[in-house]
Amino acid sequence: MHLFTMLAVLLMSCSQLVSQVYMPVLPDIADSLMLTNGISQAMIISYFITLGASQLIVGPLRDKYGDRPLFIAGQAILLAGTLLCAVAPDSTTFLLGRILQGAGSASPVLISRTLLAQRLSGARLKSAMATVAISASVTAIIAPWLGGMLSSWFGWQGLSLVLITYYLFITIFGLSLLKASEPQPFVINPMSLVRHYQNMVRCQVFLSLASLKWVPTFLYLTLQLHLPFLLQDRFGFTTSQTGQAMMLPMVGLLLGAVFAKVLQRHVSYMKIVLWLWPALLLSALTFVLASDNAIAILLAYAAIMLVFGGYFPSYMHLIGLLHPTHAGTANALVGAIELLIFSVIAWLVNQWLPDNTQAIALLIAVCAALLLLCWRTIRIQRPHFEHT
C-alpha cells in the first residue's frame, strides 16, 4: 500500500474510533455517571457537534498552511481530550474530554479526505479512495466489538487508554511523512469565507453531492444511538453482546466499500450510487415485516450501512471534481453541516422515536426518496459526472 494511502487510512480511523467505541457502552456510561439515556446520548453527540464546528476553521487553515501544522495541533488536542475521558470521575470531565476529542479530530478527518487528491490522480486516485473507504469499513466493524470487549475487561474508561497508545503511533508516523509547505498567498478573511460558504450552499449540485454523505450519516447516527437500547431493553442483550451484535451491520459498510472499489474500474460512481439505492427500500421493508427478530433488525441496519459504504467513496470522488482547488474548504463545510445539524437532528429524533420499528421504516423511506431526488439533480446539472 502507498505510504500516503496508509496514512489516510490511519487518519480516518482517528475520528471513527473515538466516536464509535463508546457506542455499545452508552448504558454503562449512563449508570456510572448517573445519567438518563438521553443525557448519555447527548454526551456522545457533543463530540460530533464540536467536530463539525471545528472543521469550519480547520478546512480553510489547511488550504492555506498545509497539512503538517494542522496535523500536529489536531493530534495534540485529540490526545488531551482522550486522556480526560480516561480519568473522568464525573460527567463534566467526560463532557470536556469529548469536546476536546471533537476539536482535535477535525484535522485528521479533513487531511484524510484531501491528502490523496494532492498526490494521486486518475485511476490510482479512485482506487486509493476506495481503499480508504474499505479500511474505514473494517474500522467500523471492529470498533463496536472493541468497545464492548475492552469495557468488559477494563471498564468504559479503560477504552481511552487504548486509544491514547494508538493515537501516539499515528502521530509519530504522520510526522515522518508530512513535510512543511509554504503558506498559500490568499488571505483568510472571515467575511469572505462566509460568502464563499454561502455560494457553496446555494449550489444545487453541491447540496445534492453533500447529501450522499449527509443522509446515510444521519441514518447511521440515528440507529447507532437507538439500537443499543433497543437490543438491551427489548431483546435482553448484555453490554458485551450488544458490542458484538453491532458488528454485524458494519459488515454491510465493508461490503458497500468493496462493491464500490470493484465497480469503479468499470462504471462511474454515479451508477454505483444508483445501483446501491434499492438496499434502502429493502431495509425499510425489513423493519416493518420482521420487527420481532433481532437478527433481522441488524440485517436491515446492515443494508443501510451497505449504502453508506458505497456512497462514501462516491462522495469523496465527486466533491473533488466539483471543487478541485478548494477541497479542504468544501469538505469542511460538508462535515460541519453533517455534524452540527444532522447529528443534532439524529439525537432529537431519538428523543421522539418510539420503540416502534415502523417509525424507523418510515424514516428510512423518506431518506431514500430524498437521495433519489439528489441523484437526479446531479445527473441533470452535471451529466459528465456519469463518465468519471
Boundaries of domain holding 287: 3-178+188-387
Nearest to 311 by CA among 230, 252, 231, 356: 252
Asked if 326 contacts 63 with a C-beta cutoff of 8 angstroms, the reply is yes
Q: Is residue 26 part of a domain?
A: yes
Q: Is residue 183 part of a domain?
A: no
Measured from the Cβ of residue 172, the count of other Cβ atoms closer than 10 Å reads 10
Q: 28 vs 148, 300, 312, 387, CA distance in Å? A: 10, 26, 31, 49
Helix (H) or strand (E) holding 387: none
Asked if 70 contacts 54 with a C-beta cutoff of 8 angstroms, the reply is no
Q: Is residue 353 part of a domain?
A: yes
Residue-level pLDDT at 182: 66
Residue-level pLDDT at 338: 82
Domain count, the chain: 1
Residue-level pLDDT at 290: 85
Q: Is residue 163 part of a domain?
A: yes
List the alpha helices (DSSP H) in the chain.
3-20, 26-32, 37-65, 67-87, 91-119, 122-154, 158-177, 190-201, 204-235, 239-245, 247-263, 269-276, 278-289, 294-322, 327-337, 343-352, 357-381
Q: 207 vs 116, 335, 337, 338, 362, CA distance in Å? A: 23, 12, 11, 11, 23
Measured from the Cβ of residue 39, the count of other Cβ atoms closer than 10 Å reads 14
**Domain with 32 in it: what CATH number?**
1.20.1250.20
Q: Is residue 213 part of a domain?
A: yes
Residue-level pLDDT at 187: 62
pLDDT tens, the chain, 388 aa long: 578 889 999 999 998 888 888 777 777 777 777 767 667 667 777 888 888 888 888 888 887 788 888 999 999 999 999 999 888 888 788 888 889 999 999 999 888 877 877 777 677 777 787 788 888 878 877 787 778 788 788 877 788 888 899 999 999 999 998 886 666 656 667 777 788 788 888 889 999 999 999 999 999 888 888 888 888 878 888 777 877 787 788 888 889 988 888 888 888 889 999 999 999 999 999 999 988 888 999 999 999 999 999 998 888 888 877 777 677 778 888 888 887 788 778 878 887 776 778 888 999 999 999 999 999 999 888 777 766 6
Residue-level pLDDT at 279: 96
Residue-level pLDDT at 377: 92
Q: How far apart are CA 176 and CA 162, in angstroms?
A: 22
Residue-level pLDDT at 184: 63
- Cell numbers that stand for 139 in this block: 474500522
Residue-level pLDDT at 280: 96
Residue-level pLDDT at 326: 72
Q: Is residue 164 part of a domain?
A: yes
Q: How far apart are CA 229 and CA 245, in angstroms?
A: 12
Q: Is residue 89 part of a domain?
A: yes
Residue-level pLDDT at 333: 86
